[in-house]
């Protein structure tokens, strides 16, 4: 098979790494793998196609900001992509995040429908079936079930400062996405799968949990040098990791925790900007974003507990990365985040319940044992091995081409 995947990034961030790992599985089974991306590429095993330019991304962003028509810019970039697809003639296309200021959904889907190309579309959020937002649970909005309009989140990504076009976007996307016949939707969580069933999308949907490289993410034998580097000897370490930290990811909740936890606890947050680091309380250590998975695995291994106070999410890979390194996970009851753990490998806390979050941290830090670490690792091995999970994608490609 010759498979083309399309995503905002390649081998960078969670969706970029997922596309990269699916490509590796395809290549390992002697198929051809191509990835078309908008920005932020890193070295890849797949053959790469660049979509558009940096200026085009900025222009699409400006269009969104002024008109709230995200996904309807980048016309020239998408036409050039279609010309490349015509040359490539893939047997099937794997879509991931097609929002991100780099592609025109109407031009792309009209072409796909005309050519009847088989599509596997992995939804990493809810944008495909709303008139604007990527997540709506933070404002308890259910307009997406019937008709979006008067959107309460136009000031959030993809941000608009002038207009609210959520009504038109909703109807246009409903028409555009449902015109393709040979399309299979994949969701990384059962939570999102159930939402898709309630939406206007009329395609078959299945759940495949994200997988990770268990050789890269594994319990590290020596973490002493990092403890010495950050002066964390005799400290209970509470770890948080995100590619972008904001209120949605629970940064303010960590700040509150920093004021509540005793002096023998230290919070370590990875992925912050320098501006955010400068504003942290004294007992929170901030580290900028890293693409070094080996170093990240050492931080996971060093932590007594991994905490993910996310307010809106699908199926965070950080949860399963922590488990693979033998670290229990405490997460808010958000989206598919709780699906990563069970009662022996972590705890679920209701959103914003800071005191309960504090109590959960204290419990797991005090009761984290070698047995707990083994159970975390075993759960990751049994459920989140990328070789197993992305083999399921290969099976879907083979089935849809039949």
Digit-coded pLDDT (tens) for 102-150:
999 999 999 999 999 999 999 999 999 999 999 998 899 999 999 999 9
DSSP 127: G
Predicted local distance difference test score (pLDDT) of residue 306: 98
Residues 246-258 have a mean pLDDT of 92
Report the pLDDT value the prediction gives residue 244, as an integer from 0 to 100.
Answer: 87
CB count within 10 Å of CB 74 equals: 27
CB 6 within 8 A of CB 93: yes
The 8-class DSSP code of residue 51 comes to -
Strand partners, 186: 122, 206
Distance CA 120, CA 130 (A): 20
The confidence score (pLDDT) of residue 221 equals 86
CB atoms within 10 A of CB 169: 22
CB 44 within 8 A of CB 23: yes
Q: How far apart are CA 151 and CA 247, in angstroms?
A: 19
pLDDT for residue 352 is more than 80 = yes
- Burial class for 255, CB neighbours closer than 10 Å (0-12, 13-18, 19+): middle
Phi, psi of 377 (to 5 degrees): -65, -40
Asked if 346 and 333 touch (Cβ cutoff 8 Å), the reply is no
pLDDT at 41 over 80: no
310 alpha carbon, distance to own chain's centre: 12
Section 58-62 average pLDDT: 97
Give 369: exposed, middle or buried? Use CB within 10 Å, 0-12, 13-18, 19+.
Answer: exposed
pLDDT at 248: 87
DSSP class of residue 157?
S
CA distance 225 to 28: 36
- Does position 209 have pLDDT exceeding 80, yes or no? yes
Q: Write down all domains in the chain, each with its CATH number in brackets.
A: 2-211+386-401 (3.40.50.2000), 224-383 (3.40.50.2000)
């Amino acid at each position: 098979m010759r498979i083309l995947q399309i995503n905002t990034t390649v081998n960078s961030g969670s969706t970029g790494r997922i596309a990269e790992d699916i490509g590796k599985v395809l290549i390992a089974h002697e198929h051809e793998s191509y990835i078309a991306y908008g920005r932020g590429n890193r070295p890849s095993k797949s053959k790469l196609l660049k979509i558009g330019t940096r200026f085009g991304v900025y222009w699409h962003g400006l269009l969104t900001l002024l008109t709230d028509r995200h996904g309807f810019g980048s016309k020239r970039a998408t036409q050039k992509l279609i010309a490349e697809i015509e040359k490539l003639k893939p047997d099937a296309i794997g879509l991931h995040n097609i929002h991100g200021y780099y592609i025109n959904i109407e031009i792309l889907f009209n072409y796909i429908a005309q050519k009847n190309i088989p599509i596997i579309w992995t939804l990493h959020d809810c944008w495909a079936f709303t008139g604007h937002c990527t997540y709506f649970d933070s404002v308890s909005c259910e307009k997406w079930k019937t008709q979006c309009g008067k959107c309460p989140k136009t000031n959030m990504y993809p941000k608009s400062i002038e207009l609210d076009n959520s009504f038109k976007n909703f109807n246009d996307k409903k028409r555009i996405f449902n015109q393709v016949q040979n399309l299979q939707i994949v969701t990384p969580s059962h939570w999102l799968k159930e939402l898709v069933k309630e939406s206007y999308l009329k395609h078959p949907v299945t759940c495949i949990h994200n997988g990770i490289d268990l050789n890269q993410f594994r319990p590290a034998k020596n973490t002493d040098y990092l403890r010495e580097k950050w002066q964390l000897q005799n400290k209970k370490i509470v770890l948080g990791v995100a590619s972008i930290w904001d209120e949605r990811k629970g940064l303010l909740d960590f700040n509150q925790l920093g004021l509540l936890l005793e002096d023998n606890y230290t919070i370590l947050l990875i992925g912050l900007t320098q501006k955010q680091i400068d504003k942290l309380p004294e007992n929170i250590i901030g580290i900028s974003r890293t693409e070094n998975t080996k170093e990240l695995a050492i931080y996971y291994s060093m932590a007594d507990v991994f905490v993910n106070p996310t307010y809106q999410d699908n199926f965070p890979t950080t949860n399963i990365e922590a488990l693979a390194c033998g670290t229990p996970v405490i997460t808010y009851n958000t989206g598919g985040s709780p699906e990563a753990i069970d009662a022996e490998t972590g705890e679920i806390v209701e959103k914003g319940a800071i005191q309960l979050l504090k109590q959960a941290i204290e419990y797991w830090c005090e009761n984290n044992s070698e047995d707990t670490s083994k159970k975390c690792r075993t759960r990751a091995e049994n459920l989140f091995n990328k070789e197993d999970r992305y083999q399921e994608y290969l099976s879907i490609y083979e089935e849809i081409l039949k």
